[in-house]
């Protein structure tokens, strides 16, 4: 499929994939994006919140999850916001406002708002062999080994966030710019992958202007801003995966050539740039974790809960083994079988199996994101009311700051839970199938071969949506 | 004062307000709120730490204000039957404030009144009322 054809395609046959509206064409928005204090001021507000989260881990109700500010804020509010709004709509805007790497970045820059392109620290290059998502894949999977503790023990959330902050500081002093965010942060990888689905993007307005601009200040920086902290070339940005939306390119571009576009969801899935097994495995891991979380947190199987919560060491080790095998071997293995069938059905001999496997794995992103959104409904609606309580009494010390401390636990619209989950899963399935076909076309080139090659993929997606439907609503 | 110095000061103030600020504010607020407490007792099942402290000393004839805070994941209770003090159920993450004036010196048992674990019967402590 040619680049031109892909530009003429429509999502679900309705929305043209090449439609864009530049939010920064609105003068107020452009002015805001170019200010040095933005997004730093939002980072500082989030830093305030995260300090309260850390404090709630070591003081107050440190054994009680439902009355812990840290647990409720991080695992109910922040996670839900991330999966339901920030990533699918606003791409990596969380990275834009994330306070966790800020201490490290300030130490590099020795500035908070100002510009100092002579960065401190050792400024080493991140190892080439690790310049991918593998470290993040393993770290994120490793983090989920402790999922049975995060939601009940505030101290564990303190250790996790504190660990990320310390790791961010240490790595920022050793490696250049945002190497930590790009290659290590456990939260970064899945945001990058699912940001392919986002309805916003940062891109150049006119590539010809960039082509003529020799200095490439978006890469090197100038007195108005830093060279891309995410080590990208903003002038030729093609997909959201590794763009942390820090907005420095808006400040450094002397031609106001950067755009903050609204677009149809998922257009990046068709961009064949830096695709690889690391990203494919990230989508397998995300689906595996969505299943495991549901089974462990909301399923009726008490013995699995006992494993995940580490009631016995043997049980917990069994959980780690099964979970790791499921995420790294079983789900990829199933996908491999269907990729093999796709190639077989297509009749194509020129296309390598690895290319089929990697390319088609990108259609799991809409399905995975939908499963996470559906899963998020499962704890937002029953448990969201705890947020009102912890806002008034963040450390379980008996405070009533906003008069909401005595609001009892009140599940909201739980009768709508399963229908909402089904609608979300079905929407994800439709988008996944649509992109699956487009990816098949991109992979096999010949439309007839692509149609045949798409059949096993459609069967797999159908099985996946049925499995999630059974799990969530069965 | 130069523009750079002003900017540096503003930056420093903002960063301190957002990092040290919440810590100082929380500690100051809690300290002002608990100034009149005689003692705070944390409640956990015996295998997770029991009441803490388990031994509280108060003065005879003086008003006592105890705050019992359940930092466990299960419901606990708190009662000193000999002094007719009973907090009833204290749910996970919640607390009870008890005010009373002991009229006789002595040692009084306090204990959990809600079955909280297999070691529930060990969830107890002593309130000692001393002569002035």
Q: CA-nearest residue of chain B to A45?
A: B18
Q: Which residues of B touch A52 (CB under 8 A)?
A: 22, 26
| Contact at CB, A112 and B11, closer than 8 angstroms | yes
Answer yes or no: are the C-beta atoms of B71 and A63 closer than 8 Å.
Answer: yes
The greatest distance separating any two alpha carbons of chain B, rounded to the nearest whole angstrom, comes to 70
Domain boundaries, given as residue ranges, for chain B: 1-33, 39-130
Q: Which residues of A touch B47 (CB under 8 A)?
A: none
**More confident: A226 or B72:** A226
Average pLDDT, chain A: 94
The confidence score (pLDDT) of residue A59 equals 82
ipTM exceeding cut-off 0.90 for this assembly: no
CA dist B43 to A263, A305, B10, B83, B120, Å? 54, 25, 44, 19, 12
On the question of pLDDT at A430 being above 80, the answer is yes
Distance from CA of B105 to the nearest CA of A (A): 30
CB pairs under 8 A between A and B: 78
Could you tell me the two tokens for A170?
A: 């240490």
CA dihedral angle for residue A138, residue A140, residue A141, residue A147, rounded to 10 degrees: 150
Provide the β-strand partners of residue B111. Answer: B79, B124
pLDDT in tens, B50-59: 999 999 999 9
Distance from C-alpha of A10 to C-alpha of A267, rounded to nearest angstrom: 10
pLDDT in tens, A262-300: 999 999 999 998 899 999 999 999 999 999 999 998 888
Provide the β-strand partners of residue A261. Answer: A22, A201
| Contact at CB, B69 and A47, closer than 8 angstroms | no
Distance from C-alpha of A276 to C-alpha of B90, rounded to nearest angstrom: 54
On the question of pLDDT at A63 being above 70, the answer is no
Nearest to B73 among A65, A395, A399 (CB): A65
CA dist B20 to A55, A97, A211, A348, B23, Å? 11, 19, 46, 63, 5
Distance from CA of B74 to the nearest CA of A (A): 8
On the question of pLDDT at A150 being above 90, the answer is no
Nearest to A61 among B7, B11, B93 (CB): B93
Distance from C-alpha of A237 to C-alpha of A251, rounded to nearest angstrom: 16
Distance from C-alpha of A358 to C-alpha of A284, rounded to nearest angstrom: 11
First to last CA, chain B: 61
Q: CA-nearest residue of chain B to A54?
A: B23
Nearest to B95 among A52, A152, A398 (CB): A398
Distance from CA of B31 to the nearest CA of A (A): 11
Place A105 in a pLDDT band, splitting at 50, 70 and 90.
very high
Q: Phi first, then psi: what are they for A36, rounded to 5°? A: -70, -30
Q: CA-nearest residue of chain B to A68?
A: B93
Is the domain defined by B39-130 classed in CATH 3.40.640.10? no
Q: Quick one: average pLDDT of A417-436?
A: 97
The confidence score (pLDDT) of residue A53 equals 94
Nearest to A63 among B7, B30, B48 (CB): B48
pLDDT in tens, A369-387: 999 999 999 989 999 998 9
Distance from C-alpha of A364 to C-alpha of A460, rounded to nearest angstrom: 10
A62 touches B: beta carbon within 8 Å: yes
* CA–CA–CA angle A323, A329, A332 (5° rounding): 115
Q: CA-nearest residue of chain A to B30?
A: A397
Q: Quick one: average pLDDT of A44-65?
A: 85
Report helix, strand or coil for A430: helix
């Amino acid at each position: 499929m040619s680049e031109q054809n892909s530009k003429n395609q429509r999502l679900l046959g309705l929305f043209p994939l090449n439609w864009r509206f530049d939010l920064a064409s609105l003068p107020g928005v452009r002015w805001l994006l170019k200010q040095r204090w933005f997004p730093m001021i939002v980072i500082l507000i989030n830093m305030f919140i995260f300090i309260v989260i850390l404090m709630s881990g070591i003081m107050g109700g440190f054994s009680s999850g439902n009355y812990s500010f840290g647990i409720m804020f991080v695992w109910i509010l922040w996670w839900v916001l991330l999966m339901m709004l920030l990533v699918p709509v606003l791409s990596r805007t969380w990275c834009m406002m994330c306070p966790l790497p800020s201490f490290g970045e300030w130490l590099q820059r020795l500035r908070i708002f100002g510009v100092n392109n002579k960065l401190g620290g050792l400024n080493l290059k991140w190892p080439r062999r690790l310049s991918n998502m593998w470290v993040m894949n393993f770290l994120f999977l490793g983090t989920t080994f402790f999922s049975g503790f995060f939601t009940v023990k505030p101290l564990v959330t303190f250790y996790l966030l504190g660990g990320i902050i310390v790791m961010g500081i240490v790595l920022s002093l050793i490696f250049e710019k945002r190497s930590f965010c790009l290659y290590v942060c456990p939260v970064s990888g899945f945001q990058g992958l699912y940001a392919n689905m986002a309805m916003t993007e940062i891109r150049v307005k006119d590539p010809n202007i960039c082509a003529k601009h020799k200095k490439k200040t978006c890469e090197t920086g100038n007195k108005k801003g830093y060279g891309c902290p995410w080590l990208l070339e903003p002038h030729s940005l093609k997909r959201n995966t590794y763009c942390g939306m820090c907005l420095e390119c808006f400040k450094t571009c002397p031609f106001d050539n950067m755009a903050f576009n609204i677009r149809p969801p998922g257009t990046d899935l068709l961009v064949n740039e830096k695709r690889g097994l690391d990203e494919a495995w990230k989508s397998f891991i995300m689906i595996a974790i969505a299943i495991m979380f549901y089974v462990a947190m909301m399923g009726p199987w008490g013995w699995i809960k006992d494993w995940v919560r580490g009631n016995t060491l043997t049980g917990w080790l069994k959980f780690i083994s099964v979970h790791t095998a499921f995420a790294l071997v079983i789900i990829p293995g199933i996908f491999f079988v269907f990729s093999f069938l796709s190639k077989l059905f297509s009749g194509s001999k020129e296309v390598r199996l690895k290319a089929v496997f990697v390319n088609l794995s990108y259609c799991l992103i809409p399905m995975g994101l939908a499963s996470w959104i559906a899963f998020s409904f499962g704890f937002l609606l029953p448990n969201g009311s705890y947020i009102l309580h912890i806002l008034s009494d963040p450390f379980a010390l008996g405070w009533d700051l906003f008069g909401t401390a005595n609001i009892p636990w009140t599940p909201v619209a739980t009768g709508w839970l399963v229908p909402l989950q089904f609608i979300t899963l079905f929407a994800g399935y439709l988008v996944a199938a649509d992109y699956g076909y487009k990816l098949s076309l991109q992979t096999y080139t010949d439309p007839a071969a692509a149609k045949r090659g798409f059949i096993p993929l459609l069967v797999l997606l159908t099985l996946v949506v049925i499995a999630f439907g059974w799990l969530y609503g069965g | 004062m130069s523009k750079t110095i002003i900017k540096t000061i503003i930056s420093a103030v903002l960063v301190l307000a957002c990092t040290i600020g919440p810590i100082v504010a929380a500690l100051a607020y809690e300290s002002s709120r608990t100034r009149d407490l005689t003692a705070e007792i944390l409640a956990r099942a015996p295998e997770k730490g029991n009441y803490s402290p388990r031994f509280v000393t108060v003065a005879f004839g003086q008003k006592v204000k105890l705050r019992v805070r359940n930092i466990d994941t299960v419901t606990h209770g708190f009662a000193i039957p000999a002094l007719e003090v009973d907090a009833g159920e204290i749910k996970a993450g919640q607390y009870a404030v008890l005010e009373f004036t002991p009229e006789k010196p002595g040692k009084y048992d306090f204990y959990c009144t809600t079955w909280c674990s297999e070691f529930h019967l060990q969830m107890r402590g002593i309130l000692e009322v001393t002569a002035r």
